[in-house]
Structure 1
Amino acid sequence: MKVLVLSASPRREGNSWALAQSLAKGAEEAGHTIDFVQLSDYVEAPLGDCRSCRLSDRSCGIADDYERLLFDHVLPADAIVYATPLHFYGMTGRLKSFFDRFFCYTSASSPHTGEVVPGLMHKRAAVLISCEESYRGATLGLEAQFQELTRYLRQDLAGVVVGIGNSRGEVERDPARPLEAAADLGRRLGDAHVTDYRLDTDRSNRVWGPSVEA
């Protein structure tokens, strides 16, 4: 697979970046190719009022490199890794703008809808969160938001890794070993077990298939 890693931190080479590097290493070990993007190199502005800032051909008029990010990196990817520090119990503002601005390219008034909508769907996804609080509830809201975002985009959320740390690189000292967990998720990114049952879903009583006799 082609794996796009979106590093959403305004601080380069911080803890979420370390998690992203570990996942990328695991994914490369599994034979995947990595496309690593620093979101701050592409996204400068938040979503505006499309009624006032669309160009004459109805395309987005916000003057940064978001469109290049979308068409050159996001749409060609088979999997997307979202790496973000926890900012006020949510994702970074720039990453939120990344999602908000999908609207400019998926609404009925956009000339790109026919290409972008199917291009965003049916990808594998993973989330990496760095956080200075070990309180479990600190990241639950953000994890739930990613569950809904990937559900809406019809992306399979393969896993979430949370690493605790504040100073640059401190996540390496987290006794829960999140860097190892991120690398493992990278190795399993293509085939991690993703289920989303409904009441009428056909399924056996075994999660991992038939038992294997020793």
Structure 2
Amino acid sequence: MNKKVLVLSASPRKGGNSEMLCDQFMLGAKESGNQVEKIFVGDKKINYCVACDGCKRNNGNCVYKDDMAEVLEKMIAADVIVMATPVYFYTMDGQMKTLIDRTVARYTEIRNKEFYFIATAADDRKQAMERTLEGFRGFTCCLSGAKEKGIIYGTGAWNKGDIKGSQAIKQAYEMGKNV
């Protein structure tokens, strides 16, 4: 069965390590006949949630007129969501956290999705990424029917391109192929 796969790449650095892993995941998913789209979060204008509750008063419509409404529609329509972030100070970057926070307007509509997580870090220990993964799990725990399907640990990747030739590159491709 072909699936709609949405890749959310939150690295502020185009062509960075986490984005390279996204691209490999996408390649595998496309080769398996899935419909795949990547959103480079840094290209989107997404304001911070200010807990004004405007979305509750406006049927899930945020008071901000930015790009998040479009991203949220795509998250709701997807079968599979890939969330990718570099690890900053042992947690996800601000771009990903801001995106997650802004789903509050319609998070109850993000139902029955398969989730894959991609994290890259300079540290070469997987344990260094656990707080990042717990952040993702905190989000998906709030979503009805969310299923964690896989994690790609891009360890030992500080400089742009460090991830090339790593096991994580191969793993990302294979995981995408098996969506």
Relative to the length of structure 2, the TM-score reads 0.88
Runs (5+) with no aligned partner, structure 1: 107-116, 190-214
**Which of residues 153, 160, 171 in structure 2 aligns to 1:162?**
153
Cross-structure match for 2:106:
105
Compare the two structures and name the one with the higher strand fraction: 2
Deviation of 1:145 after TM superposition, in Å, equals 2.6
Please state whether the residue corresponding to 1:24 is helix, strand or coil.
helix
Cross-structure match for 1:114:
none
Distance 1:122 1:55 in 2: 22
Deviation of 1:187 after TM superposition, in Å, equals 1.4
Cross-structure match for 1:125:
115
**Contact in 1 for aligned 2:47/2:66 (Cα 8 Å):** yes
**Contact in 2 for aligned 1:128/1:160 (Cα 8 Å):** yes
Cross-structure match for 1:96:
97
Please state whether the residue corresponding to 2:25 is helix, strand or coil.
helix
- Shift in alpha-carbon separation, 1:137–1:56, aligned structure 2, 3 A: closer
Distance 1:19 1:8 in 2: 12
Amino acid at match of 2:153: V
**Contact in 2 for aligned 1:19/1:178 (Cα 8 Å):** yes
Deviation of 1:149 after TM superposition, in Å, equals 2.3
Distance 1:76 1:55 in 2: 21
Percent identity, aligned pairs only? 28
**Which of residues 4, 7, 26 in structure 1 aligns to 2:6?**
4
Cross-structure match for 2:141:
151
- Shift in alpha-carbon separation, 1:56–1:134, aligned structure 2, 3 A: closer
Paired residues for 1:33-52 under 5 Å: 33-51=35-53
- Higher RCO (CA-CA < 8 Å; seq separation 6+): 2
Distance 2:35 2:129 in 1: 29
Amino acid at match of 2:48: P
**Contact in 2 for aligned 1:43/1:94 (Cα 8 Å):** no
Relative to the length of structure 1, the TM-score reads 0.75
| 1:18 aligned onto 2:37 | no
Distance 2:14 2:105 in 1: 28
Structure 1 stretches of 4+ with a deviation exceeding 4 A read 53-58
Return 80-89 or 59-68, whichever deviates more: 59-68
Deviation of 1:54 after TM superposition, in Å, equals 5.8
- Shift in alpha-carbon separation, 1:54–1:3, aligned structure 2, 3 A: closer
Aligned-residue RMSD, C-alpha: 1.9
Distance 2:56 2:97 in 1: 23
Distance 1:98 1:32 in 2: 24
Paired residues for 1:25-36 under 5 Å: 25-36=27-38
Distance 1:91 1:43 in 2: 18
Return 159-168 or 13-22, whichever deviates more: 159-168
**Contact in 1 for aligned 2:92/2:135 (Cα 8 Å):** no
